């Protein structure tokens, strides 16, 4: 619906949100972002610290530390035994990039920072992998792909999906997984004018932005074994991502990510 000079009530109705939500802004985004950076820097020296031990080091109330850690998916490092994995077809590997998210302010609008990751889904005795790219400002899944191996193909398809649907972001952040250091993946991102950002080695908390998404996603997905074919599973994944973007209320945004993105665009157009 096109509205010329809409009232707040008309704008809220067109976005499918309450009128009050048009006045809502996420609490203290820049202060939370700066605290996030301080938490990550402290965890680099003390990777096992939880919020209770981080609080006195940072001189911040432990409840606020816990809230910010939850907001950005930061978890203390728990060392696990090495897991043998199959050799993957990754192509030529590039050197790791610096973590730009430790240097830039919190994004003030969409399309500045994309964060990328993938997870595994058990399916009839094997694993299926889901790669996603999320806009850090709107928390919207802007690109995704499903593949039967965690190879460069998996994450490359997710990036292509994002670039087909949205203008390229300024930064693309990931961990230092071999998939994300493949020359093909990095080459495509740089060709699109994107600056690549990577977490420091052995610092998984620096790419924890999608942890809460994957946790809720797998809860909503339920038992993947109930689907007979990969096609049925993929169709359900599509529906869940669509629901997350357009209907599911995001805790920190107080509305679905797409509604938050639409609200921001409308506010910019009205100024």
DSSP labels, 139-157? --EEEEEEESS-SHHHHHH
Q: Which region among 29-38, 141-150, 202-211 has the lowest average model confidence (pLDDT)? A: 202-211
The two tokens of residue 219 are: 């809860």
| CA–CA separation, 23 and 9 (whole Å) | 12
Q: Which of 87-96, 111-120, 162-171 has the lowest mean pLDDT?
A: 87-96
Enter the pTM of the model. Answer: 0.71
Q: Which residue has the higher pLDDT, 227 or 3?
A: 227
Domain 100-261 has CATH 3.30.420.10: yes
The predicted model gives 226-236 an average pLDDT of 94
* Sequence ranges of the domains in the chain: 27-84, 100-261
Please say if the pLDDT value at position 143 is more than 80: yes
CA dist., res. 217 & res. 241, Å (int): 8
Mean pLDDT of 164-180: 93
Res 59 pLDDT > 80:
yes
Burial of 236 (0-12, 13-18, 19+ CB in 10 A): middle
Treating both helix axes as pointing N-terminal to C-terminal, what angle do 51-58 and 62-71 enclose, rounded to 10 degrees?
Answer: 120
Which one, of 262, 18, 34, 222, lies nearest residue 140 by Cα? 262
The yes-or-no verdict on residue 76 having pLDDT over 90 is no
DSSP state of 85: -
Does the structure show a pLDDT above 70 at 27? no
DSSP secondary structure letter of residue 250: B
Once rounded to an integer, what is the mean pLDDT over residues 71-83?
60
- Given a cut of 80, whether residue 176 has pLDDT beyond it is yes
Work out the percent of the chain whose per-residue pLDDT is above 70: 79
Task: Kindly tell me if the per-residue pLDDT of 86 is higher than 60.
Answer: no
pLDDT at 87: 42
Which pLDDT belongs to residue 103? 87
Q: Which of 33-47, 75-89, 119-133, 174-188 shows the lowest per-residue confidence on average (mean pLDDT)?
A: 75-89
**pLDDT at 21 > cutoff 90:** no
Distance between CA atoms of residues 96 and 185, nearest Å? 13
Specify the pLDDT at position 81.
42
Query: Could you tell me the strand order of the sheet in which 126-135 lies?
Result: 141-147, 126-135, 113-123, 171-174, 195-198
> Does 81 or 216 have the greater pLDDT score?
216
- List phi, psi (to 5°) of 192: -80, 0
């Amino acid at each position: 619906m096109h509205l010329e000079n809409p009232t707040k009530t008309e704008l809220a109705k067109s976005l499918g949100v309450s009128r009050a939500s048009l006045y809502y802004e996420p609490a203290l985004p820049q202060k939370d972002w700066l605290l996030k950076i301080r938490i990550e820097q402290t965890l680099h020296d003390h990777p096992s610290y939880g919020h209770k031990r981080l609080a006195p080091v940072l001189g911040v109330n432990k409840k606020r530390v816990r809230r910010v850690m939850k907001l950005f998916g930061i978890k203390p490092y728990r060392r696990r035994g090495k897991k043998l994995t199959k050799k993957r077809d990754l192509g030529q590997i590039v050197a790791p990039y610096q973590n730009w998210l430790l240097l830039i302010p919190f994004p003030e609008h969409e399309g500045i920072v994309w964060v990328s990751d993938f997870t595994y889904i058990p399916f009839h005795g094997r694993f299926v992998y889901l790669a996603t790219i999320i806009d850090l400002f709107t928390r919207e899944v802007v690109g995704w792909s499903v593949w039967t191996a965690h190879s460069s193909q998996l994450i490359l398809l997710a990036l292509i999906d994002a670039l087909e649907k949205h203008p390229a972001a300024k930064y693309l952040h990931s961990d230092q997984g071999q998939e994300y250091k493949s020359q093909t993946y990095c080459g495509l991102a740089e060709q699109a004018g994107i600056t690549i950002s990577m977490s420091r080695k052995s610092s998984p908390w620096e790419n924890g932005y999608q942890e809460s998404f994957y946790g809720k996603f797998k809860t909503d997905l339920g038992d993947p074994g109930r689907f007979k074919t990969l096609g049925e599973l993929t169709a359900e994944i599509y529906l869940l991502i669509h629901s997350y973007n357009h209907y599911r209320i995001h805790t920190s945004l107080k509305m679905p990510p797409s509604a938050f993105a639409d609200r921001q665009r409308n506010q910019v157009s009205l100024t």
